[in-house]
Amino acid sequence: MLAANNPALHSWIDIAPTSDFPIQNLPFGVFETPERGARLGVAIGEYVLDLYAVSQHGFFEDLDIPTQPKVFRRRSLNGFIALGRPTWRAVRQRVSELLRHDNPALRDHEEAMHACLLRQSEVTMLRPVKPGNYTDFYSSIEHATNVGIMFRDPANALLPNWRHIPIGYHGRASSIVVSGTDIRRPNGQRKAPDAAAPTFGPSQQLDFELEVAFIGGRSTELGHPVPIQQAEDHIFGLVLFNDWSARDIQSWEYVPLGPFLGKSFGSSISPWVVTLDALEPFRVAGPAQEPEPLLYLRQLDQHNFDISLEVGIQPAGGPETIVSHSNFKFMYWSMAQQLTHQTSNGCNLQVGDVYASGTISGSTPDSLGSMLELAWRGTRPLPLSDGSERKFIQDGDTVTMRGHAERNGVRIGFGEVRGTVFPALNS
């Protein structure tokens, strides 16, 4: 039996070579239709495989999944994730077997096939998890250095603690929305450098942040840290994440306690969760860490992933311009280090929690992961293909982020995370 990641696998479903969702991927998500309600699904090519329908037709009967099939008829993946890694792997492996070109079980069962497969264009994707908690890290050394140069001392861009701990803060989980949800420009306090007092009104420096987030896969008890050797056992999978940011609101409010209203008005998450198992072939070593981390954060194996990322800006009624090409492998602090540090004080984890990477920037001008950097705090306007320029994101702009990993002829993609900015409400 071929493993689900084998490059030689191909499906009886016609899948374009450029598709994000070949048989080697099989990411999990939650979809909805008026007839079926909300259900868990797996992406395959241009289709969604309805896991509730698959279960109803008996294809999971020998997998001993507790509470099936109702676990597949939920509005989030949380209940399924809570069943544990052996169940995730068993379901993914069985789905892989059912979709292989030489397996007639589903392919030749006309009633089951029509019940189980829907076109992605015919469903509405929901937020994949219901997060109880959201942590936003600050783990790109290029991004942190750029911000330090802009706002502090260029000769000492990184704060003294940055190379010693994965910096992060506790964000607002309730405002994480699925891709395609409109983003309302936030109102807030801003203070110009030469102003005597702050004013209140719509943010004038609305920005995107190119991030990848991981989804918590296991709950832990309060007071019980997770050793770094076990950290990835607590990760279900990865999503694309746009952590929208109002730079002018944030720069006024963040001293002394950090981001607040400049970040909590909205974060966009992609609907498909790509499992760590699917990304296993794309592991790479991360950047050299100097000084060597303290013992509890030291990792021996490859914990970064080679995932190409891009950001496009599309003005209302105009063409899209790709403004950034970056890569998740640039991250200085790995997901394993982030999770281990999160729990090092005994903080307990919950299934479905979201942990975002922080803005992902590279070392070249076209690999920067925010408008703050691309337009260098508004001093270098960024040209778009319609002839306009951007210092920050304008009303009517649609920001789309995409990502994929590719090796040995196999492309494992994330789809996209997209959001259109609407004007602020009258204050």
Omega into 315 within 30° of 0, i.e. cis? Answer: no
- For CA atoms 271, 3, 92, 94, give the dihedral sign: positive
Catalytic positions: 143
CB-based contacts of 100, cutoff 8 Å, min separation 6: 2, 9, 10, 11, 12, 23
**What amino acid occupies position 300?**
L
Nearest to 384 by CA among 332, 317, 322: 322
Burial class (CB in 10 A: 0-12, 13-18, 19+), 42: buried
Cα 87–92–93 angle (5° rounding)? 100
Instruction: Yes or no: say if 199 and 190 are a contact pair by the CB < 8 Å rule.
Output: yes
Asked if residues 33 and 118 have their Cβ atoms less than 8 Å apart, the reply is: yes
Contact 353, 360 (CB under 8 A): no
Strand locations in 45-142 (E):
47-50, 117-119, 124-125, 134-137
Distance CA(146)–CA(157), nearest Å, equals 7
